[in-house]
Amino acid sequence: IKKEEVKSIIEKTDNTTYESVSKMFSKMNDAAILEYIKENKSAFINSESDLDSLINDCRDIISADDQNTVMEEYIVKALERVLR
């Protein structure tokens, strides 16, 4: 994750939240992270509008460094599929 992306995440949350989630996710592989998000989606997604907002935020974050990679796009699409 690049510093521009971290900055974008912190702007959307806060430093404490970023550090906490980053620490937790650093101990998990991608599949485990997606499963965790899926299991806990009701904590942050209550409507289709919430989901759209979250996906748009993810796209904003991966665009923060002006270099979207295929892997980043794939992860956002996978996240959207998991949460729908």
Q: What is the mean pLDDT of residues 63-78?
A: 86
Query: pLDDT by residue (tens digit) across 31-62?
Result: 898 889 889 989 889 999 999 999 999 999 98
Integer-rounded Cα radius of gyration of the chain: 12
Amino acid at 71: M
DSSP 66: S
Which pLDDT belongs to residue 1?
81
Is residue 22 predicted with pLDDT exceeding 90? yes
Q: What are phi and psi for residue 13, nearest 5 degrees?
A: -125, -110
Which pLDDT belongs to residue 2?
86
Is residue 68 predicted with pLDDT exceeding 90? no
CA distance 35 to 31: 6
pTM of the model: 0.77
